[in-house]
Amino acid sequence: MNANFQQQRATKAFTDFISTPIETLLQRHHNTAGSQTVLTFFRDVAANVPAYQAFLAEKGINPATIQTLEDFQQLPAIAKENYIQRYPLSDLCRNGQLAECDMIAASSGSTGKPTFWPRFFTDELQIAVRFEQIFHDSFFADTRRTLAVICFTLGTWVGGMFTTSCCRYLASKGYPITVITPGNNKEDILRVVQELGGNFEQVVLLGYPPFLKDVIDTGLSRGVQWSQYHIKLVMAGEVFSEEWRSLVADRLGSQNPCYDFASLYGTADAGVLGNETPLSICIRRFLAKNPDAARALFGESRLPTLVQYDPSSRFFEVQNNSLLFSGDNGVPLVRYDILDTGGVITYDAMLEFLAEWNFNPLEALSTHTSAALSVQHSALKTQHSALSTQHLSRGIHPLPFVYVFGRSNFTVSYFGANIYPENVSVGLEQPAVQGWVTGKFVLQVQEDADKNRFLSVVVELAPDVEESEEKRQVITESILVQLLRLNGEFANYVPPEYQTPQVTLTATGDREYFPIGVKHRYTRR
């Protein structure tokens, strides 16, 4: 590894980041066709990443034959099973040099064995643009003293450390942002907000949606007046309803959810792939109230996460309803199948579709924002000039949309942790339990009347075994022990008070959950 090269690489990327306005960064995709960008990226990876060279050779593919986007789209997709887990970690990096990365994050696999994801400073800078887009366009953090409270789990898990780095880079760029890292310690978060929040014009909480809601509800029960802190939320890892967003907005005293919330489409594999914008939220809230329109657009009655993405940073494709993306990172990924179902919609196609349903999101966003920001402007007592057209246009960029229903490989997401049926199976296979059950179960995340999430496991009892509270408690404890043992994300992401699953026992062949003669599905959404 050439130390001078690393230094030059870092210096150039940081100089470009801090000297280039966010508006310019978000217009880069206009200058180069996405097809040209991804072809250049492919050639670089094929020339410099040993694992990808070996992968192509095994498939009998000569990189020189990939000349057009159509050629590129014929390349076999890569995934954890056929690529990441088959090659040494160093071979997945450029030049086979793990030492050219300066940070490693971990994500749990289905067996609980972590997958390691290295990255370099420059990889974080390109993801920092996603955070800048949110802090600038949604939160106006370029002109407001902002306390960013990192509520993601810290440690080797990707969310906390990555987010912390990105927020600090914004401060380096001149944003009046101060960062503090209580992690997912609820008591520390509440203390931080109450003791420090008054020194700032707004407080941004960054974490998993159900955890942030728990923090907010706990604060309300203790008399915290959230509205005085002008709270904003940055979230990741969960699909949530617009009813959930409205409920949380109400409890925070939020005047405009389109500008006070932003959800990230993020992954340990490649950082942040896309993010909610005021425009995408405005559109999603319309679709939530018009399920026929949502069904026509997405092909399903459930509402996916809807974000915008920068095609100069991440190139998306759809193959058999699965999202593939290509993007640079410590481990560069070409046509990577992350096992998310979803789709891509161009900016123009989205506006045309909404026009057919008599909805203009640009007008709606401008109308709602004008009133809401006027209220905020008055409440903050700042010396800002009157809100201008420029302010109202923030959050409106002609970037494409990607929608995500979530993992297609039968996982459920809970407080940002991917929970696998295999983790639960082991709990039902323990000696104290296995004689009572068939091994079938249904794993799902549900909400109670107050929109708090809980992990539900419906278990099928063996024939002639009768339900009892004692059996239910033993089974609950067995599942919990194995979840904590096998799934590092579950153990670290989910607060202890939300870890115990709510177990329901049913008789063999229960019609709702275990109909006889039907192929069983172990998860429900």
Task: Give the residue, 425 or 127, on which the prediction is more confident.
Answer: 127
DSSP H helices in 201-338: 209-221, 242-252, 257-260, 278-289, 291-298
What end-to-end distance do the CA atoms of the chain give, in Å?
47
Closest listed residue to residue 169, CA positions, set 363, 381, 315, 25 = 25
Task: Give the residue, 457 or 156, on which the prediction is more confident.
Answer: 457
* DSSP track, 374-434: HHHHHHHT--PPPP-HHHHHTT-----EEEEEEESSS-EEETTEEE-HHHHHHHHTSTTTT
HSE-CB for 21 with a 13 A CA cutoff? 5
- The pLDDT, as a whole number, for residue 463 is 87
Three-class SS state of 172: helix
Query: How far apart (Å, rounded) are the C-alpha atoms in residues 398 and 35?
Result: 17
Closest listed residue to residue 314, CA positions, set 332, 339, 340 = 332
Cβ pair 146, 90 in contact under 8 A: no
Q: What percent of the chain has pLDDT over 90?
A: 70
Q: How confident is the model at residue 116 (pLDDT cuts 50, 70, 90)?
A: very high
What's the pTM? 0.85
Helix (H) or strand (E) holding 339: strand 333-345
Q: How confident is the model at residue 380 (pLDDT cuts 50, 70, 90)?
A: very low
- The pLDDT, as a whole number, for residue 490 is 92
- The pLDDT, as a whole number, for residue 372 is 52
Q: Who's near 15: CB < 8 A, 6+ residues apart? A: none
Among 58-67, 234-243, 278-287, the least confident range:
234-243
- The pLDDT, as a whole number, for residue 374 is 57
Q: Who's near 34: CB < 8 A, 6+ residues apart? A: 311, 312, 315
pLDDT tens profile 462-494? 988 999 999 999 999 999 999 998 888 899 999
Among the ranges 97-111, 237-251, 317-331, which has the highest mean pLDDT value?
317-331
Which runs of E-coded beta strand occur in 436-520?
437-447, 453-461, 502-506
For the chain, domains (ranges, CATH) are 3-102 (no CATH), 119-407 (3.40.50.980), 412-506 (3.30.300.30)
What is the 3 state secondary structure string of 199-213?
A: HCCEEEEEECHHHHH
pLDDT tens profile 317-367? 999 989 999 999 999 999 999 888 999 999 999 999 999 999 999 999 987
- The pLDDT, as a whole number, for residue 296 is 94
- The pLDDT, as a whole number, for residue 240 is 82
- The pLDDT, as a whole number, for residue 267 is 87
**What is the pLDDT averaged over residues 391-410?**
79
- The pLDDT, as a whole number, for residue 370 is 63
Query: How far apart (Å, rounded) are the C-alpha atoms in residues 207 and 231?
Result: 13
Query: How far apart (Å, rounded) are the C-alpha atoms in residues 427 and 423?
Result: 7
Cβ pair 454, 446 in contact under 8 A: yes
- The pLDDT, as a whole number, for residue 369 is 62
**Amino acid making up residue 342:** G
pLDDT tens profile 153-201? 999 888 899 999 999 999 999 999 999 999 999 999 999 999 999 999 9
- The pLDDT, as a whole number, for residue 521 is 85
Strand bridging mode 231-236 / 261-267: parallel
Closest listed residue to residue 221, CA positions, set 193, 196, 190 = 190
Q: How confident is the model at residue 383 (pLDDT cuts 50, 70, 90)?
A: very low
Q: How confident is the model at residue 524 (pLDDT cuts 50, 70, 90)?
A: confident
